[in-house]
Structure formats: C-alpha cells, structure tokens
Amino acid sequence: MRTSQDVLRDLWTLAQGDLDALDAVTLTGTPPILPSSFAVDMAAQVTIAAAGLAAAEIWRARSGQSQRVSVALEHAVVECRSERYLRLNGNPPPPAWDAIAGVYKVRDGFVRLHTNFKHHRDNVCRVLDCKPERDEVQAALNHWEGEAFETAAYAGGCVVSYMRSHEQWSKHPQAHALEGLPLLTIEKIGEAAPRPWPHGDRPLEGLRVLDLSRVIAGPVAGRTLAAHGADVLLISGPELPAIPWLTIDTGRGKLSAFLDLKSGPGRAALHLLLAEADIISQGYRPGALSALGFSPEDAAAINPGIVYVSLCAYGHQGPWAGRRGFDSLVQTSTGFNHAEGQAAGVDGPKELPSQMLDHATGYLMAFGAMMAKARQAREGGSWHVRVSLAQTGRWLWNLGRIEGAMRRPELPLDAVKPYTLAVPSGFGELQAVRHAAILSKTPAFWARPAMPLGSHQAQWPPRH
C-alpha cells in the first residue's frame, strides 16, 4: 500500500505544484486510527496536508519565506470529524439526523433517505403517501424496488439513494462518466491580468472569499481558507434551511450575511460582492447559481481574474451530473456502505466512520482554490476549480482496502482533547477542534468567532 507521502505527491502533481515544495512536508502517525476497511485516515491527512502546503507556497510567493508543514495522522482524523467533537457550553451535539432519516428495506435491498431539511422530508412523504413516521415509511417502501423508488423520489424532489455494491456501481452510467475525470480539475476560463498579492502577515490575508455553501464540504473549504487568513463571507438565504450544529462548527473564522438571491436586490448585492472578490466557492445544486446569472463564465465576466470553485455530488459529467446529494447518500450509491457492511459482517449498509467524502472534498476545494489563486498571481486569467463527492469517493476507493482495520476500537474522547481548544462564539463557549495543518511560520487560526447566520452586513471589510 502506498504511503501518505506518495499520495500527497500524486495530488500535488495533479495540481501542477512545484515538486521541491514537498520536501517541506512532514506527515506523522501510523494507520489505522478509525475502524474502517478504507484508508479514511490517509485521506484525511493527505487532503489537509495538501491545503496546508498550498498555503505555505502562497506565503513563500508573497514573502520569499519558506516554512515547514506538518500534519499528524490522528489530528487530521479528529478534524475530519470535527462536528462530533464540538461542545457548546460543555454540551455535546444533539442527534445528527431527522427522525425518519436513514436506512430502510426495499424489495431488492436497502435505500437511504436524507430528510434533515424539512422540504426533503415532506417530499419523501408525498412520494410514499405516508406520514413522517418510521413505521409508515417502511411499510410504504415494502412495495418498492430500490432503483424505481430512487428514480421516482428524485423526480419528486427527494434526496435518497439505493444501496449498490461497488460492482453494481461500476456498471452504472454515472460511474463510467467519472472514469475519465481526475480527482479535481483546475481550468482557465478567461483572460485577465495577474493580480498582485495584497499586504498581510498571513498566507491569505487580504484575500476575499465568497462562501455560498451549506452542510459540510463547502463550509469546510471556507473554514480552511479562513484559517490561513482570508476574509471569508458566508452568504445564506433567510429562508434557507440549515443544520445549526454544522453552522457553528464550520462558521469559525467567517463573516455571515443574508441575501435573498431570488430577489433583484439580493442578486444585485451579490453582484457587487462578487466584483470585489478573489475567490467564490459554491456548493448549491448544479445549475442553481447559473440560473441566477452567476455561472463561472458570468463570474469571470463580472470580475476578470476570479477563482471560481464548484462542488457537486456526482460529478459535472454524466446522467447524474445535475443530481442532488450528500456524503451519506454518495457513500450508499457508490458501494462504500455495502463494502463496509460486508467487512463488518452485518446484513445491510454500514457507514464510513466519518463523513469523509464531505471533509476530504472540503479540503480539496480549499487546496484547488489556493493552487488556482497562485497560478492567477503568476500567469493571470480567471480559473474554475471543480470537485465532487463521487470523484473523492472514487479516489478514496482506489487508495485500497485495509484488512482487519474494522476491528479497531473507536477513538476515545481522551485522545481527542489535545486537538481542541476553548474559544468564544456568538452561541456561547465552544470547545472545538484546532486545524491539523501546522505551519512553522504562519500558524493557522480563526481570527473571527463563529456567529449566527446573518450576523453581519453583506459587505467586505476594508483591506489594510
């Protein structure tokens, strides 16, 4: 099995990084840490290290100073489960899932429902013609075959998945569409002059990042950019549903404002913000922002030199390119739940021990954003970075399986404490996970506390 250094080299090469920079990276720790048959520990360490090294390289470009980057395996694993270790005023997280979310039997296997947002739950009950109660949902699903329900549910605005084995997924047209795609793409989409780096004492200080994302992957990307000094402005809609615990955990370091993008004034305000941004990172349903006039090409016309980062569930090519999805559903669709269940000897799906597709993809988004921004500063141009949960899943699968690791005990809470710190927030005192990439000259930290959504004005802070 390849080492984390080997995998980091591949990722760094894919993004056209200077290979000599890899000498500055130290990766410590011995896997496995978590009980999984997949290399989730390696995925955590490598993606966090890639983002950390990109920040260090930007600092070298800005200041002429090189620095060391180190990532401990256990710390990386903890950060990729940061939401479960968050404590608010000493209290642990509430239940993570809606009452009817989760796994159900169908005639030919299992399906997973994601109903944490009320409109998704209502749509499931509408398609099944049942009340939002587990017994009623199961009784209704007893009459369905998996793919038929999955198809009907998506047509009805639900977010669900049918559990496939890896072999079944490999034969699926969407899997074939992903075969020709790399883990992430960084593409030049327009002409623009190189932008000089702003003044600042941190790698991303003075850079402005528009964060239009929810749940985990996109918000983790924004949180990571904020950890290296960027001014990250999270834009949410006053009517959009959110998951409060995730808002707290991923909101560290960010400003947060409301805009109603369905309204003319809201779109006009976003246009003004975009015109002064350096990076926009978005994870909305494929096509949603484009329909509002904020596609990558639109953004490059509004602001030549922009770096535009796009996240989707199943990839930007293929029959499922426009399909909504979350980490848990992509795990189910693409074979992870089936494989983990088999490795654990259980009859049915078993989840990975973290939302690893989400977290790893979030760090890849931050990594791609920084590598694209570094190229913009050298070469000019507008740039588009694309990632998906399914592409990250394909990469994770290809890292290989780990025999016997499923028997590992869970990470005890005492092991987690050294990687957390107490910080104030707009919600109360947090005990939260520190960033796992340790940079020797520009330590990562969040200068702004997590605040409730909409706490700030939709405007950029002044550059110093």
Helix and strand numbers, DSSP H then E, in the chain: 19, 16
Q: What distance in Å separates the CA atoms of residue 156 and residue 170, rounded to the nearest whole number?
A: 26
pLDDT higher than 90, residue 156: yes
Q: Give residue 99's pLDDT.
A: 87
Q: Give residue 287's pLDDT.
A: 86
Task: Indicate whether 59 belongs to any domain.
Answer: yes
Which of 59, 74, 79, 81 lies closest to 204, judged by CA? 59
Q: What is the dihedral of CA 224, 89, 259, 289, to 10 degrees?
A: 40
- Render pLDDT for 159-189 as a digit per residue (tens, 0 to 9): 999 999 999 999 999 999 999 899 999 999 9
Task: Indicate whether 87 belongs to any domain.
Answer: yes
- How far is CA 274 from each of CA 233, 235, 280, 303, rounded to the nearest angstrom? 11, 11, 7, 7
Structural domain boundaries enclosing 363: 4-94+177-317+353-439
Q: What distance in Å separates the CA atoms of residue 402 and residue 343, rounded to the nearest whole number?
A: 10
Q: What is the dihedral of CA 338, 340, 343, 349, to 10 degrees?
A: -50
Q: What distance in Å separates the CA atoms of residue 241 and residue 177, rounded to the nearest whole number?
A: 31
Q: What distance in Å separates the CA atoms of residue 256 and residue 457, rounded to the nearest whole number?
A: 8
Q: What distance in Å separates the CA atoms of residue 141 and residue 103, rounded to the nearest whole number?
A: 11
Where would I find the beta strands (DSSP E) of 314-429? 382-388, 420-423
One-letter identity of residue 308: Y
- Render pLDDT for 105-116 as a digit per residue (tens, 0 to 9): 999 999 999 988
DSSP string, 18-59: -GGGGGGEEEE--S--SS-SB-HHHHHHHHHHHHHHHHHHHH
Q: What integer is the mean pLDDT of 51-66?
A: 97
SS3 318: coil
Task: Indicate whether 290 belongs to any domain.
Answer: yes
Task: Indicate whether 216 belongs to any domain.
Answer: yes
Whether the Cβ atoms of residue 11 and residue 50 lie closer than 8 Å to each other: yes
Share the mean pLDDT of the chain.
95
Task: Indicate whether 151 belongs to any domain.
Answer: no
SS3 326: coil
Q: What integer is the mean pLDDT of 146-158?
A: 93
pLDDT band at residue 337 using 50, 70 and 90 as cut-offs: very high
Q: Give residue 356's pLDDT.
A: 97
Q: What integer is the mean pLDDT of 9-19?
A: 97
Q: Give residue 239's pLDDT.
A: 87
pLDDT band at residue 314 using 50, 70 and 90 as cut-offs: very high
Q: What distance in Å separates the CA atoms of residue 365 and residue 240, rounded to the nearest whole number?
A: 23
Whether the Cβ atoms of residue 237 and residue 231 lie closer than 8 Å to each other: no
Q: Give residue 97's pLDDT.
A: 81
Q: What integer is the mean pLDDT of 32-40?
A: 96
pLDDT higher than 80, residue 464: no
Task: Indicate whether 336 belongs to any domain.
Answer: no
Which of 8, 51, 2 lies closest to 27, judged by CA? 8
Phi and psi at residue 308, to the nearest 5°: -115, 120
**Domain count within the chain:** 1
Angle, in degrees to the nearest 10, between helices 40-63 and 356-379: 20
Percentage of the chain lying above the pLDDT 90 cut: 89
pLDDT band at residue 442 using 50, 70 and 90 as cut-offs: very high
Q: What integer is the mean pLDDT of 6-35?
A: 97
pLDDT band at residue 226 using 50, 70 and 90 as cut-offs: very high
Task: Indicate whether 285 belongs to any domain.
Answer: yes
- How far is CA 312 from each of CA 224, 286, 417, rounded to the nearest angstrom? 19, 6, 33
pLDDT higher than 80, residue 1: no
Q: What integer is the mean pLDDT of 190-206?
A: 96
- Render pLDDT for 263-312 as a digit per residue (tens, 0 to 9): 999 999 999 999 999 999 999 888 889 999 999 999 999 999 999 999 99
pTM for the model:
0.97
CATH number at residue 277: 3.40.50.10540
One-letter identity of residue 287: G
Task: Indicate whether 163 belongs to any domain.
Answer: no
Q: What integer is the mean pLDDT of 148-155?
A: 94
pLDDT band at residue 236 using 50, 70 and 90 as cut-offs: very high
SS3 122: helix
